Amino acid sequence: MNTERFRLFLALLPLALFSLLALSAQAQDTSVLRPPKGDKVAIIVFEDLQCPDCAHANPLLEEAARTYNIKLVRYDFPLPMHNWSLDAALFARYFDTKSEKLGHDYRDYVFRNQPQITRENLRGLTEKWAQTNKTNLPFIIDPQGKLAAAIRADQALGQRIHIEHTPTIYVVNNSRQGTPFVEVVDRTQLFQMIDAMKAEAH
């Protein structure tokens, strides 16, 4: 009898695993993995400004966006283990309010200078960068908490998509059939993946 039950267990195990995977896929919210309205293809990245691998990936993502003339859409996903990434994301969000380019340039600056940045000198370096870029940096950059709320929204979104590491990179298209998004696991394949997504796009 025990042997029969064990055989039944083994027979039903694949079905149970499949059901669990299906439920997990349903719980994953991938609705955001689309290009901005009016665009056919884009790159989406969930990043942490203190993450060394994010800094390493950033030039490649910038190059791909320039080469294909597509948007690089950034989501802030500061990790709890990093002690200044949230503050840097807040500064980046502040500069976003001045212009999209300014926020973009600040993120590039942080990635390039990441090894020299500490929690203690981040504010001073950011003030110098703002002066160089003819921008005022007020003492309180988020008096109503709107920028922090936007970062929390990005984090919540990443959790719904089941982001487990930074950077998490996707190439997305506007297709309603086929594969509307694909995660970039091997970055050496990024350009080929963009080509494939452009071919599938409407």
pLDDT by position in tens, the chain (length 202): 455 544 444 444 444 433 333 334 345 667 789 999 999 999 999 999 999 999 999 999 999 999 999 999 999 999 999 999 999 999 999 999 999 999 999 999 999 999 999 999 999 999 999 999 999 999 999 999 999 999 999 999 999 999 999 999 999 999 887 779 999 999 999 999 999 999 998 7
Q: Is 136 exposed, middle or buried (0-12, 13-18, 19+ CB in 10 A)?
A: exposed
* Domain edges within the chain: 41-200
d(CA 168, CA 184): 8
Whole-number pLDDT of residue 202: 73
What is the gyration radius of the CA atoms in the chain, in angstroms? 21
Q: Where are the alpha helices (DSSP H) in 51-189?
A: 52-68, 85-98, 100-112, 122-132, 146-161
The single residue listed with the structure tokens 């200078």 is 113
Whole-number pLDDT of residue 3: 56
User: 41-200, superfamily in CATH?
Assistant: Glutaredoxin (3.40.30.10)
| Residue 115 DSSP code | G
The structure's pTM equals 0.83
Q: Does residue 181 contact residue 30 with C-beta atoms inside 8 Å?
A: yes
